[in-house]
Chains A and B, each alone.
Chain A
Amino acid sequence: MKATTATASATTAAEAPGARSFARTTRLLMAPAVIFLLIWMLIPLLMTIYYSFQQYNLMMPMYDGFAGFGNYAILLSDPVFWDSLGNTLIIVVASLAITVSLGMLLALLFNRTFMGRGIARTLAVAPFFVMPVVTGLIWKNMLLHPVFGLFAWIARQFGLEPIVWLDQYPMVSVIITITWEWTPFALLVLLTGLQSLPEDQLEAARLDGASALQEFRHIVIPHLGQVLYVVVMLESIFFLTSFAEIYTTTSGGPGTATTNLPYYIFQTVFQQSDIGIASAAAIGAVILANIFAIMLIRFIAGNLNAGAAR
Chain B
Amino acid sequence: MTSSRFSNFAFGVLAWGVALLIFFPILWLLLTAFKTEQQAFSVDPTFWFTPTLESFRTALAQGNGYWHYAWNSALTAVASTLVGLALAVPAAYAMAFYPNKRTDFLLVWMVSTKFIPAVGVLIPMFLVYKTVGLLDHPLGLTLLFTAMNLPIIIWMVYSYFRDIPKDIVEAADIDGASILQTLFKVVLPLALPGLASTGLLALILAWNESFWSITMSDHRAATLAVYIASFKSAEGLFWAKMSAASVLAIAPIIVLGWFTQRQMVRGLTFGAVK
Residues of A bordering B, CB below 8 Å: 8, 12, 22-23, 25-27, 29-30, 32-34, 36-37, 40-45, 47-48, 51, 106, 109-110, 112-117, 120-134, 136-143, 145, 147-148, 150, 153, 180, 183-185, 188-189, 192-193, 196, 226-227, 230-231, 234, 237, 240-241, 243-244, 247-249, 251, 261-262, 265-266, 269-270, 275, 278-279, 281-283, 285-286, 289-290, 292-293, 296-297, 299-301, 303-305, 307-308
Contact = CB atoms under 8 A, between A and B. Distances in A.
Contacts of A41: 113, 116, 121, 147
How many B residues touch the partner, as a band? 35 or more
B26 A127 contact: yes
Interface in B121-169: 121-128, 143-144, 146-147, 150-151, 154, 162
A22 B117 contact: no
B257 A128 contact: yes
A183 B261 CA distance: 14
Interface stretch (B53-61, B189-197, B229-237): B229-237
Contacts of A231: 269
Given A42-B113, A112-B15, A123-B19, A30 B119 contact: no
A304 B108 contact: yes
B210 interface: yes
Contacts of B234: 141
B22 A183 contact: yes
B239 interface: yes
A192 B29 contact: no
Contacts of A180: 22, 25
Q: In this complex, which of A32, A42, A44, A269 has the most chain B Cβ atoms within 10 angstroms of its Cβ?
A: A44
A221 B100 CA distance: 37
A33 B152 CA distance: 12
Contacts of B126: 269
A147 B43 CA distance: 6
Contacts of B150: 33, 36-37
A26 B100 contact: yes
A194 to B, nearest CB: 10
Contact of B261 (A27, A125, A139, A293): A125
B210 A131 contact: yes
Given A41-B147, A301-B108, A124 B18 contact: yes
Interface in B35-90: 41-45, 86-88, 90
Nearest to A190: B273
A114 B256 CA distance: 25
B123 A278 contact: yes
A115 B43 CA distance: 37
A106 B101 CA distance: 43
A111 B257 CA distance: 20
Contacts of B221: none
Contacts of A141: 231, 234, 236, 239, 242
A285 B29 contact: no
A40 B146 CA distance: 9
B171 interface: no
B162 to A, nearest CB: 7
Contacts of B101: 8
B15 A305 contact: no
B8 A114 contact: yes
A37 B261 contact: no
8 contacts: A29-B93, A30-B91, A33-B154, A43-B124, A44-B124, A109-B15, A129-B258, A141-B242
Contact of B250 (A23, A110, A134, A278): A134
Contacts of A133: 210, 225, 228-229
Given A128-B257, A234-B269, A275 B106 contact: no
B265 A189 contact: yes
A189 B271 CA distance: 11
Contacts of A145: 236
Given A234-B268, A285-B119, A131 B225 contact: yes
B106 A34 contact: yes
A216 B157 CA distance: 35
Contacts of A286: 116-117, 120
Nearest to B243: A142
Contact of B29 (A138, A248, A266, A296): A138
Sorted nearest first, the 3 A-B pairs with minimum C-beta distance are: A114-B12, A129-B257, A293-B115
Interface string B262-274: 1011001111111
Contacts of B258: 122, 125-126, 129
A275 B236 CA distance: 36
A13 B87 CA distance: 28
A36 B104 contact: no
A120 to B, nearest CB: 4
Nearest to A297: B112
Contacts of B246: 131, 134, 137-138
A192 B87 contact: no
Contact of A137 (B128, B228, B269, B273): B228
A257 to B, nearest CB: 17
A266 B127 CA distance: 14
